[in-house]
Amino acid sequence: MIIAAIRSGSDPVVPLPPATFHRWLEDPISCPRCEVTYNLVLDYDLAISRHFPNESRRHLQMLRKAIMLGHATNHHIPHFETNGVVVTPHAAPRPELTLSSPPLTRRIQ
């Protein structure tokens, strides 16, 4: 079971978990210290299964803890994924600096 938590107002950084259809869960996870919320997305078939509340409990606890710990870094990570016992953070790529102007000095030949 792969569950992705994506900060509201941002796009997924990496592709979503493989599935034919995704479902966004109605109950987002919010940071207990501030107003940041994360929306949850997972495979549609897993979300509508009758065993989902019991099977997903551990995954949701790990995502809540990762979001709470992310408060220390001002919620720099916009996308978390959990699969089994590991929570994987996905940070947004940093824009690379490019020099668009010519160098300030010239060599005299």
- pLDDT, tens only, 30-77: 988 888 999 999 988 888 899 988 998 999 999 999 999 888 888 888
Whether residue 17 has pLDDT greater than 90:
no
Write b or e for each residue in 79-107: b if 16 or more Cβ atoms lie within 10 A of its Cβ, otherwise e. Answer: bbbbeeeebebeeeeeeeeeeeeeeeeee
Q: What percent of the chain has pLDDT over 70?
A: 87
Q: What's the confidence (pLDDT) of residue 63?
A: 92
Backbone angles phi, psi at 81, to 5 degrees: -135, 140
Q: What is the pLDDT of residue 11?
A: 85
DSSP state of 100: -
Three-state DSSP at 82 gives strand
Partners of 86 in the β-ladder: 83
Which pLDDT value is given to residue 106?
A: 67
Which uninterrupted H or E stretch holds 63?
helix 57-69
Q: What is the pLDDT of residue 41?
A: 92
